[in-house]
Amino acid sequence: MLFLKKGLVIIIGSISLSLGINLFLTPYEILDGGVVGLALILHYLYKLKIGLMIIILSIPIFIIAWFKYRAYFYNSVHGLIGSSFIIDLLKPVRNLIEIDAVYSAILGGILVGFGIGLMLRFQTSTGGTDLIAQFLCDKTGINVGVLIFFIDSIVIVFGGFLLSSSTLLLSIITVLVVGITTSIVTSGNPH
């Protein structure tokens, strides 16, 4: 039963994440933080598939997880593959909605944050920089949330520099909304 529940959570979370990215972030070249943000930068610059890039960029992180955090590896590999596949599968929905860029950044952030938060609530995730942050937290004692925010900020500034100032400003809004939404969804977490 737990396996079915986790599978359903990965599907719902991945769809939410994918809709947030495809409907609201990509039309305005908005970034999320972390590995997804790096994959979006590669997509905007070179038209590479977002989901495929997420998997490729995550390989070194999952190698670390295999040796250092085996439970994390098992809990995240399904979320990584599921969400990456659904992100590329839902690419056709990209131009279905046309709204102002700021609203797009907010709605995209809510959907991405909900997807991530839902998966985290059930001890699964898409992997990515959460693991790097956890690894650094273990080594330094710095709060994992602070580390994730720091990593996301580097990705967004880097992307804003490569793409545009509007990308930077809209991405800041998105990352803040993702963080708030993820916190709301994971608060009161029974685990």
Dump the DSSP string for 136-148.
HHHHH---HHHHH
* pLDDT one-digit tens code per residue, 137-173: 888 988 877 888 889 999 999 999 999 999 999 999 9
Cα–Cα dist 178/191, whole Å: 21
Which region among 19-28, 123-132, 154-163, 169-178 has the lowest average model confidence (pLDDT)? Answer: 123-132
DSSP summary character for residue 127: -
pLDDT digits (tens, 9 = 90+) for 53-108: 999 999 999 998 899 888 888 888 989 999 999 999 999 999 899 999 999 999 99
Two tokens at 15? Answer: 């769809």
pLDDT of residue 75: 84
Share of the chain above pLDDT 70, in %: 98
**Would the pTM count as exceeding 0.85?**
yes
